[in-house]
Amino acid sequence: MNTRFVLTVLCTLALSACGKKETPAPAPAPATATAPSNAEAKVLNIYNWPDYISENMVSDFEKETGIQVNYQTFENNEVLQAKLIAGNSGYDIVVPGAVFAQSQIEAGLLQALDKSKIPNLSNLDSAIMAKLDAVDPGNAHLVPWAWSFTTVGINKTKVAKALGNTPMPDNAWDLVFNPTYTSKLKSCGIAFLDSPTEVMPPALHYIGKNAYSADTADHKAAGDMLALVRKDIRLFSSTLIDDLAGGKACVVLGWAGDINIARSRAIENQSAEEIEALVPQTGGLLFFDNLAVPKDAKHPNNAMAFINYFLKPEVSAALTNELSYPTANKASIAFVAPEMAQNKSVFLDEASLQQAVSPASLSNSTRESLTAAYTRFKQGK
Ligand code: N2P
């Protein structure tokens, strides 16, 4: 390749400078400025939720690409938010929930994806992407990782025993929010997720308010309801899978996917007791978690490579098959195991999906008010 040809190509790519007569022709750019992806170290730093990736995804990606992955986990959206706000997290991929993502995009904390490097985006379900467009206009920043719903999980045997003559309620949310039930179930252990934005929306939904209400008076009303059950809650926990599978709790307010993981762990441990993710008649709370690249990520091209790898149908399907979390990868459905596809607490049926509450964006000020109400509840004040 001769120098003139290289310069012509550079001038074509750098549309601005070369053609303008009034500015002198630029000196040839140093090699590093024009060397794109291969200028990155072969490293990728991922920050995801616990129990949220198939066993071989990282090692298979490393083998295929030669990129070495450092993988760390966070327990709730609040922790991730704090890292992103502080900046210089060092992460190249993070996985915010849809309720947090819009304010992160608006605050400039996430960078636009280079879609030219993610051809497998075409595997995504266009109906889900159209929904996500409300949070992320043009689907510029987010690629859905997995979804599920927040609900009530139980150990059926223990709950039946603790309830005694009291029949199971029609509304599953009564098991965690109604003192008639919590006062009985506290003997075998009630555990809640430990995060304002996980607990307050179901509480608001239970008292008939908009789950994502911005109204502080609604937050107070939900707090008043929660205060009635506070003494019956044994744990605020970020290890609900183990708590439920290991017997520390018989009832949890948690994620359906994790409750199903607890179920398979209990079966592996040859426990006769049945764990079940209930599908509330009044609706569970849907959530979507999304791959995103922090603004200051050092390895954005490696991030695009990982996102594209994840979007292979078999790779997405392994996440569903091993962890009972559906993805938005439509092409993966063909590889999803029948027992997952048929499980109505993994893939909600049409009626339950209609009934479920869709996620909505929470502003910074709404989150502050929810946190204040949650903290009062947790501290018993
Ligand atoms: C962890 C799944 C996280 C789902 N196993 C909640 N965003």
| Element (DSSP H or E) covering residue 194 | none
For residue 267, the model assigns a pLDDT of 82
CA of 262 to the centre of ligand 1 (A): 13
**Cβ atoms 80, 94 nearer than 8 A:** yes
pLDDT in tens, 234-260: 999 999 999 999 999 999 999 999 999
Q: Any alpha helices (H) in the chain, and if so which ranges?
A: 3-13, 31-34, 57-65, 77-86, 98-106, 126-132, 156-163, 174-177, 179-185, 196-206, 216-229, 240-246, 256-268, 300-310, 313-323, 338-341, 350-355, 364-379
CA of 238 to the centre of ligand 1 (A): 10
Asked if 14-147+289-347 and 148-285+362-379 have one fold, the answer is yes
Q: Cα(302)–Cα(311) distance, rounded to whole angstroms?
A: 14
CA of 76 to the centre of ligand 1 (A): 8
Q: Cα(225)–Cα(178) distance, rounded to whole angstroms?
A: 9
* Cα dihedral across residues 309, 315, 319, 322: positive or negative: negative
pTM flag (> 0.85): yes
* Cβ(100) – ligand 1 distance below 6 Å: no
For residue 23, the model assigns a pLDDT of 37
Closest atom of ligand 1 to 52 CA is 5
* Sheet with 43-48: strands ordered across: 68-73, 43-48, 93-94
- Give the mean pLDDT of the chain: 91
What would the two tokens of residue 323 be?
A: 């962890």
- Total residues belonging to the chain: 381
Q: What residue owns the CA closest to ligand 1's atom 3?
A: 49
State mean pLDDT over 205-223.
98
Domain spans of the chain? 14-147+289-347, 148-285+362-379
State mean pLDDT over 262-273.
79
* Cβ(287) – ligand 1 distance below 6 Å: yes
**Cβ atoms 192, 252 nearer than 8 A:** yes
CATH homologous superfamily for 14-147+289-347? Periplasmic binding protein-like II (3.40.190.10)
Residue 83, SS3 per DSSP? helix
**Cβ atoms 92, 56 nearer than 8 A:** no
Top pLDDT among 9 and 61 is at 61
For residue 16, the model assigns a pLDDT of 31
**Cβ atoms 142, 132 nearer than 8 A:** yes
The CATH class, in words, for 148-285+362-379 is alpha beta
240, 255, 260, 346: which to mutate for ligand 1, most atoms within 8 A of CB? 255
For residue 81, the model assigns a pLDDT of 98
**Other C-beta atoms lying within 10 Å of the C-beta of residue 160:** 14
Confidence of residue 381 (pLDDT cuts 50, 70, 90): confident
CA of 168 to the centre of ligand 1 (A): 27
**Listed range (19-28, 85-94, 114-123, 203-212) with the worst mean pLDDT:** 19-28
CA of 74 to the centre of ligand 1 (A): 10
CA of 322 to the centre of ligand 1 (A): 14
